[in-house]
Amino acid sequence: MKKIGIVDTTFSVVNMGAIAVAELQKQGTGFKIIRRTVPGFKDLAVACKILIENEGCDIAMALGMPGPEEIDKQCAHEASQGIMQAQLMTSTHIIEVFVHMDEAKDGRELVWLTERRVREHAANTYMMLFHPEKMIKMAGTGQRQGFEDVGPTWK
Amino acid sequence: MKKIGIVDTTFSVVNMGAIAVAELQKQGTGFKIIRRTVPGFKDLAVACKILIENEGCDIAMALGMPGPEEIDKQCAHEASQGIMQAQLMTSTHIIEVFVHMDEAKDGRELVWLTERRVREHAANTYMMLFHPEKMIKMAGTGQRQGFEDVGPTWK
Amino acid sequence: MKKIGIVDTTFSVVNMGAIAVAELQKQGTGFKIIRRTVPGFKDLAVACKILIENEGCDIAMALGMPGPEEIDKQCAHEASQGIMQAQLMTSTHIIEVFVHMDEAKDGRELVWLTERRVREHAANTYMMLFHPEKMIKMAGTGQRQGFEDVGPTWK
Amino acid sequence: MKKIGIVDTTFSVVNMGAIAVAELQKQGTGFKIIRRTVPGFKDLAVACKILIENEGCDIAMALGMPGPEEIDKQCAHEASQGIMQAQLMTSTHIIEVFVHMDEAKDGRELVWLTERRVREHAANTYMMLFHPEKMIKMAGTGQRQGFEDVGPTWK
Amino acid sequence: MKKIGIVDTTFSVVNMGAIAVAELQKQGTGFKIIRRTVPGFKDLAVACKILIENEGCDIAMALGMPGPEEIDKQCAHEASQGIMQAQLMTSTHIIEVFVHMDEAKDGRELVWLTERRVREHAANTYMMLFHPEKMIKMAGTGQRQGFEDVGPTWK
């Protein structure tokens, strides 16, 4: 039985963890989900690392929603660097799913975008864990999570 | 008996460590606080790491107050990266509480904001140590530490 | 038999991994290629590290295509820092091949540039693995991958 | 007998190491100073790490003077990140003392500022090594090294 | 017999490695040089680390020439962070010698500046390896590598 770690935040205005859990359960079976919630996105990296090391998670999702201010961008950068380091220290994939509050024009679109991006990344997480060889068939096809795919620019 | 590390600075213009200690003691019992003070916020990361490694702290709070200049922002960025690394190297949460001096319009608001943010993060620290499962119920509820909560933007 | 790791993304709009494989096979023999595809360029670093550690790759290529937005530049920076760390943690070269979507004036040029840069870096990868001493003869000769070489500015 | 490491640069226009040694000797006794000089501030981090690891220093001072250009700011950022990492890798405090050449309006003020900042940080270094508990009494008192203290903004 | 590692790039338009080797041989004897050439400056850090770990180099020089574009500055920053990390991971000095193409007004000055900077850093490398105590006498004397020394601003 494989294990998937899900970590989200109380800072986010959308319950990202609940969406990820729902989508993973739609994708298939054969795994157990371990969920944690932390205050802000800068707490995600170490929480994911602990899930991998102490709970034996085979992959994790780090779900965060940076605010619109300049300082939020800086913090998101630090959070991302931490998630990168956590992956390298554990040699384990952590799928980072960040939705910036200023990507959407209003609250309605923010909820729509967040749900879509989290679901598409949950599908990626499932595929990377159970069918990594299928990812190769999608190489260079311009996939995007949230807004429309760009598609391949192939000769 | 669990241990909570508290580190603040002589650079700050508010005694952040004293506020954190007071709030933690209000939250409950069953823990011992170990407090340190360092010159500036760039000394916080290693001080927290030493408290975790040598004093056996189960969690720590890193309390700093960056000044308003451009160079202070850069230093705050370096300090945050260090706190991130300290967490990953010890697989232990360090709750970073930074109040930027230019977030407040005057000294009075600065004291108000600092006290509120430190207290709310102290409550988070207590909850993450003793009741981490309760955090999940607050996922995606738009919590903010200091200024007003944003609240959830849920369908 | 030496092993070369190739990792590309589903985000890219050109199948960079296929080009790298084709060029390496044109360069010579005596190696086995292990290919992986990940969602985005921020997943490249840990994927390369896993190929080196678990599959015994002697060198790897990390192939990514950052988008044109400011946030893409930031993410590319984080991805590059991760690839740097992965190299240092494994003491193994990972040849980073990034083509920024805004380097080309249209889709046609983007395909042309990507193919050329990936092929030239694949040739470098082959040479570094099998004939590192030949690199010294090219020191200071202003080599560029993709657009025209600059050439040496020698007295 | 405790050991204090002092590292400065040939790039600086003021002999920062000599000032640090003089001030430490004024502060008290019971320690041995080990001094090194490196070319630039980007060489400080590894020099401090070597003093801690190979010479058994209990604390170190990293003394540098970044130039006024944009590229100097970038290099100072890299140097600071290195000093942060060196501290975390050794779990030992390294007091960073940087004086930016453009902080002073002329050479005379630069010498005055440098001497004052180095001396005040040397006093911090001594106190952190021998009387860390005294630092707590100075928490939140707005200490500055070089220019005037800001003082506490306390209710 | 001590060992000095020299790594330069095929990207540079001046043969920096050849200049470093020539200057080191002029400085004295008692060492063996091990030279490598890599494609770009982002490959320097791991190449130096490999020379230190696998070839037993006691010190290394990392020679690179960043281009004039904004993206080159970003890459140079990543390369420098990598060289910093390589030093800290090996507790060994790596003298970084970067000449930015836009530091010089034309190709003639670029060659002049590069040769001068590489030679002065090669002299530093030799002195740090064989006579580190002599560096202390040059502390705070405003040394620059390439353009004119600034000199001390001493009372």
State whether A14 and B84 contact (CB < 8 Å).
no
pLDDT of residue E33: 98
State whether E13 and C91 contact (CB < 8 Å).
no
Query: Is residue A105, in this structure, part of any structural domain at all?
Result: yes
Nearest to D36 among E85, E132, E154 (CB): E132
Query: Is residue C150, in this structure, part of any structural domain at all?
Result: no
pLDDT of residue D101: 94
Q: What percent of chain C is modeled with pLDDT above 90?
A: 88
Going by C-alpha positions, the residue among C42, C55, C74, C35 that lies closest to residue A93 is C42
pLDDT of residue E151: 81
Cα-Cα end-to-end distance for chain A: 43
Cα radius of gyration (chain D): 15
Q: How confident is the model at residue B108 (pLDDT cuts 50, 70, 90)?
A: very high
Q: C-alpha B31: how far from its chain's center?
A: 17
Q: How confident is the model at residue B119 (pLDDT cuts 50, 70, 90)?
A: very high
Distance from CA of B87 to the nearest CA of A (A): 6
State whether D35 and E136 contact (CB < 8 Å).
yes
Are D and A neighbours with ≥3 CB pairs closer than 8 A?
no
Under 8 Å CB pairs connecting chains D and E tally to 105
Are C and B neighbours with ≥3 CB pairs closer than 8 A?
no
Nearest to A81 among B84, B139, B143 (CB): B84
Distance from CA of A126 to the nearest CA of C (A): 12
State whether A85 and C89 contact (CB < 8 Å).
no
Question: What subunits make at least 3 CB pairs under 8 angstroms with B?
Answer: A, D
pLDDT of residue D155: 42
CA atoms within 13 A on the CB side of D75: 20
Nearest to E8 among C81, C88, C139 (CB): C139
DSSP assignment string, C33-98: EEEEEESSGGGHHHHHHHHHHHH--SEEEEEE---SSHHHHHHHHHHHHHHHHHHHHHT--EEEEE
Length of chain B: 155
- Separation of alpha carbons A131 and E128, rounded Å: 53
Residue A13 is part of a domain; what is its CATH number?
3.40.50.960
Query: Is residue D152, in this structure, part of any structural domain at all?
Result: no
For the ranges A112-121, B69-78, E47-56, E82-91, the lowest mean pLDDT is seen at B69-78
φ, ψ for residue B60 (rounded to 5)? -140, 160
Q: State the DSSP H helix or E strand holding residue D6, giving kind and residue range, or none if neither.
A: strand D2-9
Distance from CA of A10 to the nearest CA of C (A): 24
Q: What angle do CA D117, D123, D124 make, to 5 degrees?
A: 90
Q: Are strands C94-98 and C59-64 parallel, antiparallel or unpaired?
A: parallel
Interface residues of chain B, partner chain A, Cβ below 8 Å: 73, 77, 80-81, 84-85, 87-88, 91-96, 100, 121, 124, 128, 132, 135-136, 138-145, 150-155
Beta bridge partners of C78: none
Q: Is the pLDDT of residue D37 over 90?
A: yes
Per-residue pLDDT, averaged over E66-95, amounts to 95
Distance from CA of A152 to the nearest CA of B (A): 34
pLDDT tens digits for range C39-98: 999 999 999 999 999 999 999 999 999 999 888 999 999 999 999 999 999 999 999 999
Per-residue pLDDT, averaged over E19-23, amounts to 98
Q: Please tell me the pTM assigned to this model.
A: 0.95
Q: Is the pLDDT of residue B142 over 90?
A: yes
Q: Are strands D59-64 and E2-9 parallel, antiparallel or unpaired?
A: unpaired
Q: Which of E58, E70, E87 to mutate to test the interface with D (most CBs of D within 10 A)?
A: E87
State whether E111 and C140 contact (CB < 8 Å).
no
Q: How confident is the model at residue D6 (pLDDT cuts 50, 70, 90)?
A: very high
State whether C14 and A140 contact (CB < 8 Å).
yes
Query: Is residue A153, in this structure, part of any structural domain at all?
Result: no
Q: C-alpha E36: how far from its chain's center?
A: 13
pLDDT tens digits for range D64-115: 999 998 889 999 999 999 999 999 999 999 999 999 999 999 999 999 999 9
Query: Is residue D89, in this structure, part of any structural domain at all?
Result: yes
pLDDT of residue E85: 98
**C chain contacts of residue E89, beta-carbon cutoff 8 Å:** 88
Q: Is the pLDDT of residue B86 over 70?
A: yes
Q: Is D107 helix (H, G, I), strand (E, B) or coil?
A: helix
pLDDT tens digits for range E48-68: 999 999 999 999 999 999 999
D78: closest chain E residue by CA:
E81
Domain coverage including residue A100: 2-138
pLDDT tens digits for range B24-63: 999 999 999 999 999 999 999 999 999 999 999 999 999 9
D90: closest chain E residue by CA:
E88
- Separation of alpha carbons A67 and A100, rounded Å: 6
φ, ψ for residue D87 (rounded to 5)? -65, -45
pLDDT of residue E148: 83
Q: Which of E70, E73, E80, E100 to mutate to test the interface with D (most CBs of D within 10 A)?
A: E80
How many domains are contained in chain A? 1
Amino acid in the structure at residue E97? V
Taken in order D27, D29, D30, D31, the sign of the CA dihedral is: positive
pLDDT of residue A150: 84
Going by C-alpha positions, the residue among A63, A78, A71 that lies closest to residue A12 is A63
Q: Is the pLDDT of residue E36 over 50?
A: yes
pLDDT of residue B155: 42
Query: Is residue D142, in this structure, part of any structural domain at all?
Result: no
ipTM comes to 0.95
State whether B39 and D91 contact (CB < 8 Å).
no
pLDDT of residue C27: 97
Q: What angle do CA C133, C139, C144 make, to 5 degrees?
A: 115
Q: What percent of chain D is modeled with pLDDT above 90?
A: 88
Per-residue pLDDT, averaged over A33-52, amounts to 98
Q: How confident is the model at residue B117 (pLDDT cuts 50, 70, 90)?
A: very high
Q: How many CB atoms lie within 10 A of CB E3?
A: 17
Interface residues of chain D, partner chain E, Cβ below 8 Å: 8-18, 35-39, 42-43, 45-47, 49-50, 53-54, 71, 74-75, 78-79, 81-82, 85-86, 89, 107, 110-111
Per-residue pLDDT, averaged over D142-147, amounts to 88
State whether C37 and A92 contact (CB < 8 Å).
no
Q: How confident is the model at residue D146 (pLDDT cuts 50, 70, 90)?
A: confident
Amino acid in the structure at residue C108? R
Query: Is residue C24, in this structure, part of any structural domain at all?
Result: yes
Q: Are residues E145 and E121 in contact, defined by beta-carbon separation less than 8 angstroms?
A: yes
- Separation of alpha carbons A100 and D109, rounded Å: 45
Distance from CA of E144 to the nearest CA of C (A): 23
A19: closest chain B residue by CA:
B140
Place of tokens 């091949």: C97
- Separation of alpha carbons A61 and A7, rounded Å: 6
- DSSP 8-state class, residue E28: -
Q: What percent of chain D is modeled with pLDDT above 70?
A: 99
State whether E18 and C140 contact (CB < 8 Å).
yes
Query: Is residue C130, in this structure, part of any structural domain at all?
Result: yes
